Each structure stands twice: as structure tokens, then as C-alpha cells.
Amino acid sequence: MERLKVIFHVSDRSRWNYALTSVTNFLLDAGAENVEAEVLANGPAVTAYTGEKTELVARMEDLNRSGVKFLACRNALRAHGIAEEAVPHFVTVVPAGITVLATRQRDGYAYIKP
């Protein structure tokens, strides 16, 4: 069976709880072994990756252990004065989030904007 490929797009910091719940429910329903899931943060949403380890970051880290990849837009990090080294170890910084979204959709990923 071909794996389901999904990219969740979070651009507003206030949407993180909803987004992580959506990712969790997706994994529970489809089975983590049957999916290729990524979460891309750009805009103000990247600010959730900074500071002390919050409940949000702990949830992200748990999902990462289940195979979910987390991405941060370098342009958004710069716009918010966040050093790349400040993001958690499990987050991959990409040059431009918008390009990742377009590329993933071209590659057959479903686009979800929680």
C-alpha cells in the first residue's frame, strides 16, 4: 500500500494546538506506519519553536518520534529575529516555506491548513 503523504501548514501561532491535534488524529486514524507527514511553520508560527521547552514543543517532539517531520521557514525565522540554532533539534530549517509547500504538492502531498 502506498503511504499517504501530507503536509500540514501552520502560519499563525494561535493555530498550533489545533494543528498538533489534527496531526495526532491523522496518525491514529491512518496509522503512523502508513503516512509520510510533515508540518511546515512559517510566518509568526515559527515563534513557537523558540524559548524554553513548552508543552507545544513537547507535543511536537513526541510526534517527531512517531515519524512526523517538522520544518521551519528560514525567511520567517529571520523576520522574527530567531537564530536557526535556537530551534529544537528535531526541526529542519528550509530556505523558503512557500517553495516547500509548492514542491510537496507537486510531489503528491495533500495540503492541510488547520
Question: Any idea which residue has 528535531 for its cell?
Answer: 90
SS3 content of the chain, % helix, strand, coil (to 5): 50, 25, 25
pLDDT over 70 (residue 39):
yes
The x, y and z cell numbers of residue 46, run together, are 515559527
pLDDT in tens, 2-38: 899 999 999 999 999 999 999 999 999 999 999 999 9
Yes or no: is domain 4-112 CATH 3.40.1260.10? yes
* C-alpha span between 52 and 61 (Å, rounded): 13
The pLDDT value given to residue 24? 98
- How many other C-beta atoms lie within 10 A of the C-beta of residue 36? 17
pLDDT over 80 (residue 1):
no
The total number of residues shown for the chain amounts to 114
Backbone angles phi, psi at 92, to 5 degrees: -100, 125
Q: Taking residues 42-46, what's their average pLDDT?
A: 97
The pLDDT value given to residue 31? 94
pLDDT in tens, 50-96: 866 789 999 999 999 999 999 999 999 999 999 999 999 999 999 99
What's this model's pTM, rounded to 2 decimal places? Answer: 0.95
1 CB-contact burial (10 Å; exposed 0-12 / middle 13-18 / buried 19+): exposed
Distances (CA, A) of 38 to 16, 52, 80, 97, 102: 14, 23, 22, 12, 13
